[in-house]
């Protein structure tokens, strides 16, 4: 992995999403670049593009931090995929392609097969917050996640995000092999970070599993 070892230029990030002033995009500014840096996430799958706010944050951060990186935005809407392709075209050092897929049938493993390690180091799930959609996104993307990779979920909040909470609980809680941390943002809905628990880590207090945190209400 070839890193540039530079600081993240927040002005560059702001320029990358010029005109994007939604709560979601503003809340993602400090969190997502920090996660990319911390987990050395030079291969990313983004499930749910919509207007491309997060795609722009990902692409700009990857271009700043790594000599080469890979970003695979995924959406069921053709217009969203076109937006992601336009963003990727502005970053020559960020490889990868945008895909229009049915999330329940997507082969994310195939997308990242030719990248270093053959799997993603960060997967963002930010499509529909309905339970069936989130559960399908998890099932489709789980085989593509590196052993030391991390899932990031948006809309981890009671109410509109009840389907997100349920899907995460059912997919990860019973195994006892995952850590979960709820991450509030200054604006917008909270994120949840889920990653495999390191071998030998002692079990936490919740039902015998190291699974701390519940979504803010």
Q: What's residue 199's pLDDT?
A: 65
Low-confidence ranges of the chain (pLDDT < 70): 1-29, 103-106, 161, 186-188, 199-217
Whether residue 74 contacts residue 47, with contact meaning beta carbons closer than 8 Å, is answered with yes
Q: What's residue 187's pLDDT?
A: 59
Domain range list for the chain: 10-196
10-196: what CATH class? alpha beta
Longest distance between any two alpha carbons in the chain, whole Å: 47
Rounded Cα distance between 6 and 157, Å, is 34
Tokens representing 66 are: 């790594």
Rounded Cα distance between 50 and 86, Å, is 13
Rounded Cα distance between 91 and 106, Å, is 25
End-to-end CA distance of the chain: 40
pTM beyond 0.85: the answer is no
Q: What is the pLDDT of residues 172-183, one digit of tens each?
A: 988 889 999 888
Q: What's residue 155's pLDDT?
A: 86
Q: What's residue 99's pLDDT?
A: 92
């Amino acid at each position: 992995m070839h890193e540039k070892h530079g600081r993240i230029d927040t002005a560059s990030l702001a320029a990358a999403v010029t005109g994007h002033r939604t709560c979601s995009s503003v809340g993602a500014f400090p969190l997502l670049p920090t996660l990319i840096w911390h987990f050395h996430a030079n291969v990313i799958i983004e499930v749910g593009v919509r207007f491309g706010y997060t795609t722009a944050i990902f692409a700009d951060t990857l271009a700043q931090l790594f000599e080469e990186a890979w970003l695979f935005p995924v959406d069921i809407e053709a217009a969203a995929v076109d937006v992601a392709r336009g963003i990727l075209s502005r970053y020559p050092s960020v490889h990868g392609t945008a895909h229009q897929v049915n999330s329940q049938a997507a082969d994310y493993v195939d997308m990242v097969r030719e990248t270093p390690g053959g799997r993603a180091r960060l997967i963002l799930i930010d499509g529909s917050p309905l339970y069936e959609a989130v559960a399908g996104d998890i099932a489709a993307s789980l085989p593509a996640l590196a052993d030391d990779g991390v899932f990031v979920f948006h809309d981890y909040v009671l109410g509109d995000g009840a389907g997100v909470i349920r899907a995460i609980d059912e997919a990860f809680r019973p195994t006892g092999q995952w850590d979960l941390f709820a991450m509030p943002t200054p604006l917008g809905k909270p994120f949840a970070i889920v990653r495999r628990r390191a071998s030998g880590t002692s079990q936490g207090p919740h039902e015998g599993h190291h699974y701390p945190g519940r979504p803010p209400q």
